[in-house]
Structure 1
Amino acid sequence: MTRLCASKPIITVNGKFPGPTLYAREGDTVIVRVVNHVKDNATIQWHGVRQLRTGWADGPAYITQCPIQTGQSYVYNFNLTGQRGTLLWHAHINWQRATVHGAIVILPKRGVPYPFPKPDKEVIIVLGEWWKSDVEAVINQAMQLGQAPNVSDAHTINGLPGPAPNCSSKGYTLHVENGKTYLLRIVNAAVNEELFFKIAGHNLTIVEVDASYTKPFKTDTIFIGPGQTTNALLTANKETGNYVIAISPFMDTVVATDNQTATGTLHYKGTLAFSPTTLATIPPRNATPVTTKFMDSLRSLNSKQYPANVPKNIDHSLFFAIGVGVNPCPTCVNGSRAVADINNVSFVMPTTAILQAHYYNISGVYTDDFPANPLIPYNYTGSPPTNMQTMNGTKVYRLGYNSTVQVVLQGTSMIAPESHPTHLHGYNFYAVGKGVGNYDPKNDPKNFNLVDPVERNTISVPTGGWTAIRFRADNPGVWFLHCHLEVHTTWGLKMVFVVENGKGPTESILPPPSDLPKC
């Protein structure tokens, strides 16, 4: 286990932080037995894996499964159908994913080449956050007070923060040889922060995001949100020496972040001990133009082998206003509690898994009246309304099998506008449009990219703006949609899609495994 400067007990998988990388090939069946040896309940989510008809293996606690209790085990069994690239796995209960996370590498089928020059070597780079305190205590205290939790104390690159106050860690070192090309598989496993990634003096060629190939483009700065992955080609074409690798937070509003920059070193073979180190120029914390340029550069490959099958006709057109609010809390410090919501609904986690309730027709666990639009429209990015209270509920939205869906994710100015990296389980989607301010349903669709929009499973909704996504509901089951900032998920910025079975067994949810955990 990697030890950071502030020693404390942490939950790990197989004693490693970050956890072990899962390697497989497209088309493989993956079987992972998870044994819980800690006092807390546990789950593992295979972030971005489609889980075609195998929602029981998806992992979010109380959504698709009851958690694995102390001393119990559960076998996750799923197939990697039609996917290749880099994803991640992480705990999906409470804030355990702060230390319980790792990379997933899905190699192409044997004999199938990458649609870009073959690298000389592949490297896993996992980005994260570190708290000196126990993370569960951090969020529990915040919930009791009704306030935002303390930000992390450091960022990490493969578990190491690099030189930091009261810490002598040298950080992560990436060893390279001049003239060789490296495929960096970059994973953002941070809990609450979108990040910039840079290597001093070097450009990176982006070839994939969220296990979906992209049209290659060069950049000196990667923007990557929690739950997102980015594959980039690095050519070691500079003078022998040391070059700083740096990650730093992005936040273009007043919301607090951990402002510690984590650093590592790109070290060329043959570098002498006294050679100077080239420093990286870190983007400003509020460098919105950098994030916009990066996101606007992302395009699906849209080739004959890897087409962009963007739904053109839409069966469900949904408008989700997302943000934070304030609810009464007599026991909290100021008599109120910070909450988060979608369409004014702060999601309440049930005590029975929703997939189990759906499969067995168990009543009383959820209601299927999640609103397709805000019940009371307002100026979403203007002055916030006087009443910022939300309603609580375990509500789902039903989709027919194979129906087409458009969701406009509208950021709001409630309390403080900020970027929301939003993740959809069970599906990839196409990000067909985005903009600043309020979405205009009449004019904005005219500018949608329906040819080669980027395909993802997690997308940033810009501060004070909106993002439109499209997908086809061809995977029956129960699927979580939530902000991947853990603080907002905890506060209730989440909802659930229930996708009905189609015709016959090949379009229906598989039966639950015999060892499915019980609540």
Structure 2
Amino acid sequence: MRYVVVGVLLLISLVVLELSNAMAPSVSYEWVVSYSERSILGANKQVILINDMFPGPILKATAGDVVNVNIVNHLTEPFLMTWNGLQMRKNSWQDGVRGTNCPILPGTNWTYRFQIKDQIGSYFYFPTLLFQKAAGGYGSIRVYSPELVPVPFPRPDGEFDILIGDWFYTDYRGMRASLDNGLSLATPDGILFNGHGPEEAFFAFQPGKTYRLRISNVGLKTSLNFRIQDHDMLLVETEGSYVQKRTLSNLDIHVGQSYSVLVTAKTDPIGSHRSYYIFASTRFSNSYMTGLALIRYPNSPVDPVGPVPAAPESWDYASSVRQTLSIREDLAVGAARPNPQGSYHYGRVNVSRTIILQNDVMSSSNRLRYTVNGVSFVFPETPLKLADHFQLKNTIVPNMFPTYPSNKTPRFGTSVVDIRYRDFVHIVFENPLDESQSWHIDGYNFWVVGMGFGGWSESKRAGYNLVDAVSRSTIQVFPYSWVAILIAMDNQGMWNVRSQKAEQWYLGEELYFRVKGDGQEDPRNIPTRDESPIPENFLRCGRVL
């Protein structure tokens, strides 16, 4: 009788889910992915376009919307798109990474369909297969607040999406082959603003107006410092969190991160009749490079004049740490809901478990690989999400992945960590290497409660920020440093945990969190909280054909 009741409840939950999705507002996009030769930084390169655009079109939605994106693949290779920072409601079927989705084959199409959770903010999308991100294929995402939820600053007079990132002359296939042969990525050849080289991108300002700049680092490996000549920036949002407003002259943006700043245009007769530089310069790099864009006022000359803002010292990690720790959540305002962000007191929640993830390197047959806790990730024949759903044997090995650093010989493996639905987890990222890392968790935001140099120990908990730590989805870990986060595992599914640095990710620095409830073991998990059912249009590959 018990199983009949459970089955009925499950059926009801699925019906309710479909009804809620059907009633939610929806937005739809038709995107054609193709190649084109473009001259960038003075050199021709085959670029991946979305609807003949590089960067691609802006994806705009409101919190709670159902998003439909039909991808038509005109490439000669398989393709997948992921939504960096979007929290799809219990629906990792649509995550668009190799561990959750079969690829969209050349000459075919597939429609992503997902509902955005209660979130707002600035994000971006990008291709996830075969190192294609090195050829473009990325674009901005804006998620707006519902009409009844006030934004905690005056409505700006305009918005600009700014995608900054390093760029390489080499074709992405050649870069991929070099990595496959054990060679590391070379130094980038330049820094782009919205797909353009120096002074080719510009933003039109009107005197006295205030603009919201949504800035994302979409590059492969390089941290960048963003600043504007003779203009201050008011930081207001970080990957879906409204932050305590701070005026900044420059902002470090690490690979995969997104921010929103407000910039007020000049009003004086002299200042409002000039052009100004916008800079994105390399941080923590042996090779100093600067990307340049322009702010232009009406009737202003093309070339800016006057002093330019000095860049931070390239290797000054301490100042970057201080800036990171100074970014705090604004507890008095709401984001996608009217209630304040600080109404959930994360610092008072009991931690269910601690996971320590330590990145490192290994050499296999003289070929470079990256590891997490001594395991370099390899993909199975069938995406993990499908293997889990169809209960395929010999794909996910229970307890294979150690959740603490291991002294065992580094090895290859398919790393999956099982986490109970609604657990509250403490994760420490440790970086023992001499280059910075950048970590991202799909499907979630997390609170960045601690950061420091050296190794992590239990004594570090005493210094955690348990009141107003910022909530975000991507965090940098400086060399020989650690970062601690707290995360509420409230989004069921198979979620990718990865390095945002393309080389490390491609060469094994990733794992997956399998977040599942079990009604028999956990009475808090009733069928109405189950994940979305497998989509009717799911793609087949591997052992699921």
* TM-score of the pair, normalised by structure 2: 0.85
Q: CA deviation at 1:514?
A: 2.2
Distance (whole Å) between structure 1 residues aligned to residue 62 and residue 322 of structure 2? 32
- SS of match in other structure, 1:446: helix
Deviation of 1:193 after TM superposition, in Å, equals: 1.4
Counterpart for residue 271 of structure 1? 300
Q: Which residue of 1 aligns with 2:223?
A: 194
Residue of structure 2 in register with 1:375 after alignment: 406
**CA distance in structure 1 between the aligned counterparts of 2:303 and 2:392, rounded to whole angstroms:** 68
Distance 1:277 1:68, change over 3 A: farther
370, 374, 377: which one aligns with 1:347:
377
Deviation at 1:274, TM superposition (A): 7.3
Instruction: Give the letter for the 1:373 counterpart.
Output: Y
Range with bigger deviation, 23-32 or 504-513: 504-513
Q: Which residue of 2 aligns with 1:230?
A: 259
**Number of residue pairs matched by the alignment:** 484
Counterparts of 2:178 and 2:448 in 1: how far apart (Å)?
37
Shift of 1:368: 2.7
SS in 1 for 2:45: coil
C-alpha displacement at 1:74, in angstroms?
A: 1.2
Q: Is the 8 A contact 1:501 1:509 kept in 2?
A: no
For 1:27, the equivalent position in structure 2 comes to: 64
Structure 2 CA distance for aligned equivalents of residues 7 and 102 of structure 1 = 21
Report the CA distance shift for 1:172/1:361 in structure 2 as closer, same or farther (over 3 A): same
CA contact (8 A) 1:429 1:455 kept: yes
The residue that corresponds to 1:517 in the other structure is 539
Match of 1:293, SS? helix
Structure 2 unaligned residues grouped into runs of 5+: 1-35, 334-338, 519-524
Deviation at 1:8, TM superposition (A): 2.1
Cα distance, 1:375 vs structure 2: 2.1
Quote how far apart the aligned CAs of 1:350 are.
1.8
Q: Which residue of 2 aligns with 1:485?
A: 501
Question: What is the CA–CA distance in structure 2 between the aligned matches of 1:50 and 1:515, rounded to whole Å?
Answer: 21
- Determine the structure 1 residue equivalent to 2:239: 210
1:100 alignment counterpart: 137
Aligned partner of 1:245 among 278, 297, 320:
278
Question: In the TM superposition, what are the counterparts of 1:5-154 in structure 2 within 5 Å?
Answer: 5-61=42-98, 63-98=99-134, 99-144=136-181, 146-154=182-190
1:384 match: none
Match 1:457 to one of 462, 466, 473: 473
TM-fit CA distance, 1:182: 0.7
Distance 1:505 1:354 in 2: 22
Deviation of 1:7 after TM superposition, in Å, equals 1.4
**1:429 matches 2:465:** no
The question of whether the paired residues in 1 share the 8 Å contact of 2:275 and 2:303 is answered with no
Q: Which has the higher helix share?
A: 2
The match for 2:20 is none
State the 1:277 CA deviation. Answer: 5.2
Change in CA separation of 1:226 and 1:506 when aligned onto 2, cut-off 3 Å: farther
The answer to which of 191-200 and 129-138 deviates more is 129-138
Residue in structure 2 matched with residue 365 of structure 1 by the alignment: 395
Pair 1:391-2:408 in alignment? no
| Alignment-derived partner of residue 506 in structure 1 | 528
How far does residue 307 in structure 1 lie from its aligned partner after superposition?
A: 2.1
Deviation for aligned residue 1:235 = 1.1
Pairwise CA RMSD of aligned residues?
1.8
Contact 1:242/1:277 (CA < 8 Å) preserved in 2?
Answer: no
Q: Give 2:280's aligned amino acid.
A: I
Q: State the identity %.
A: 28
For residue 332 of structure 1, what is the aligned residue in structure 2?
none
Unaligned runs of 5+ in 1: 163-169, 330-335, 378-388
Q: Per-residue displacement from partner, 1:370-400 (whole Å, max 9, x unpaired)?
A: 11111229xxxxxxxxxxx621100211001
Secondary structure at the residue paired with 1:357? Answer: helix
Aligned to 1:297: 326
**Displacement of 1:123:** 0.9
Preserved contact between residue 43 and residue 60 of structure 1 (Cα < 8 Å): yes
Q: Does 1:337 align with 2:367?
A: yes
Give the 3 Å change call, closer, same or farther, for CA 359–464 of structure 1 in structure 2: same
Cα 1:412–1:141 shift into 2, 3 Å? same
Shift of 1:296: 1.5
In structure 2, distance between residues paired with 1:448 and 1:409 = 14
Give the CA deviation at 1:275: 6.5
2:340 to 284, 288, 306: 306
Aligned residues of 2:276 and 2:304 also touching (Cα < 8 A): no
